[in-house]
Structure 1
């Protein structure tokens, strides 16, 4: 195992650098990631730590880590786009079945190559089940449709669709580990679990009763408003209000949804006669769904308080 360099971190009040602390790579990285991290340090440690050059290094590493966290989702989205553009019209294998089999293959390969931990694979499995159940209900209710045929499906839902939910879970689980995320004023886990259950139930119940999503937005603010996430990019720890992080992730998912519906991975009724951008109103639904995703991840990767980071 390679030696992990020391990092500066800022104290909870932001009063400047606290004493440097060693972070065992095994705690945050797979064996492959530890080797990548060591190689990156050999290149980047010689660069300035402060000023414009230091900020550029942090920004570059931030982007690379984000891309690495999106590995599964990015590969799946690339396959959706490529298959939409180039899939033969009379192919023996349906496009949706190809997406299911390749997504399954990617997951197996990532585990075998130690690009993903077993706990992250468990998160992906949970998301696949939770997402598929909701998909079966939502397609039956006419919320969206899958316009192509397939063999691997449950009702009107091709099984690859569960991997699209799993991609969100994979990203959140990987980013929590890769960025060594810790929190201040994190709410009790039981309260976040109740919120996630209420959100999930409302995705179903609003078809029969009133939609309480605005109350759920308010509940989200009450629970998470004071929570701050602390994360390490390269040399330094940074922080952000957790709710802002939720919004940014939801916005990213909304952009990905526009690409996916353009590629006819699924379509909304308003897109049946030609593609149109997904309504910005869907951002709220993705925000709430992302809360469910985050809470499920915290059941596997328990949120750590900032002062517990290196215990």
Structure 2
């Protein structure tokens, strides 16, 4: 397995690197289909005269997210099992949103029919879009983890991470959790396929890079009025950089859930209980291995 950092280390390496980078970028954009759809709906909700139609913006976003989710399953871009897994991300995200909104960490100031506990129901889809990205990347890039800590450690750390968000623990706790996760996953690497070549990267580095893009997306989303942080009440300002670390921590449960789901599918397929339901259009040019 070739390390990602070594793709340009020989004659003609730069051309190979650029080829792999172009392929990687195209696949990553495809994996972000649901997330990009949510951002597109946010932009559309600002452009359309929804008030003239008697439709609240948050309700429009909820309907749009439901239609996108249905279309992705209908076109077999996502499997029904993946859609069910995304419901878990939606539920976890909505629970966190309701708790944090109650504490005043951020707000959804507009009125809507589909608003519960101060949180519009579309908000959970923003967390589901992160889960959708991980699930799509797992399949399209043939992600595999190696050097993982024991499952009990993973579950314990994920539980502690989610609890720390719910309990609004301070920066010291967040930094302590980050150190614990780095220590537990110091040997964990994620293998992935790009352009038919097998590469690898440190899992903590991978989560940090993904979190950077989620942080940029959060700035775009708040700029489009998806929600409002207290410091943005008087007008949009960049999201605090500490949210980058928060998203890196939040990505850990997503990776664990998808990894367990894929592992369960692989074991069931080997036992002959059912085939892994991935359509040919989603293959990357290589044979799929569970």
Report TM bin, short chain: 0.7 to 0.9
Query: d(CA) in 2 for partners of 1:246 and 1:294?
Result: 9
The answer as to whether partners of 1:120 and 1:174 remain within 8 angstroms in 2 is no
Q: What residue number does 1:117 align with? A: 79
Q: Does 1:153 align with 2:120?
A: no
Query: d(CA) in 2 for partners of 1:52 and 1:274?
Result: 44
- Residue 271 and residue 180 in structure 1: after superposition, are their counterparts in 2 closer, same or farther (change >3 A)? same
Q: What residue number does 1:228 align with? A: 189
Q: What residue number does 1:5 align with? A: none
Q: What residue number does 2:284 align with? A: none
Instruction: Give the counterpart of 1:289 among 250, 253, 261.
Output: 250
Secondary structure at 2:200 match in 1: strand
Secondary structure at 1:147 match in 2: coil
Runs of 4+ in 1 over 6 A off after TM superposition: none
Provide, for residues 45-93 of structure 1, a one-character-per-residue CA deviation record: whole Å limited to 9, x for no partner: xxxxx65544333222111110110000011111112212334444311
Instruction: Give the counterpart of 1:238 among 174, 195, 199.
Output: 199
Provide, for residues 77-128 of structure 1, a one-character-per-residue CA deviation record: whole Å limited to 9, x for no partner: 1111221233444431111101101101111111111011223212210001
Query: d(CA) in 2 for partners of 1:242 and 1:78?
Result: 30
Please identify the structure whose Cα radius of gyration is greater. 1
Query: d(CA) in 2 for partners of 1:310 and 1:100?
Result: 36
Higher share in helix:
2
The answer as to whether partners of 1:202 and 1:211 remain within 8 angstroms in 2 is no
Provide, for residues 130-150 of structure 1, a one-character-per-residue CA deviation record: whole Å limited to 9, x for no partner: 111111111111000012111
Q: List gaps (5 residues or longer) in structure 1.
A: 1-9, 17-49
Instruction: Give the counterpart of 1:96 among 54, 58, 61.
Output: 58
How much is the aligned-residue C-alpha RMSD, in angstroms? 2.4
Query: d(CA) in 2 for partners of 1:259 and 1:11?
Result: 35
Query: d(CA) in 1 for partners of 2:42 and 2:6?
Result: 47
The answer as to whether partners of 2:2 and 2:198 remain within 8 angstroms in 1 is no
Aligned-residue offset at 1:292? 2.0
TM alignment of 1:1-311, pairs within 5 A: 10=1, 51-206=13-168, 212-302=173-263, 310=289
The answer as to whether partners of 1:227 and 1:241 remain within 8 angstroms in 2 is yes
Query: d(CA) in 1 for partners of 2:42 and 2:220?
Result: 9
Number of residue pairs aligned between Structure 1 and Structure 2: 263
- Residue 96 and residue 181 in structure 1: after superposition, are their counterparts in 2 closer, same or farther (change >3 A)? same
Relative to structure 2, which stretch is displaced further, 284-293 or 295-304? 295-304
Aligned-residue offset at 1:252? 0.6
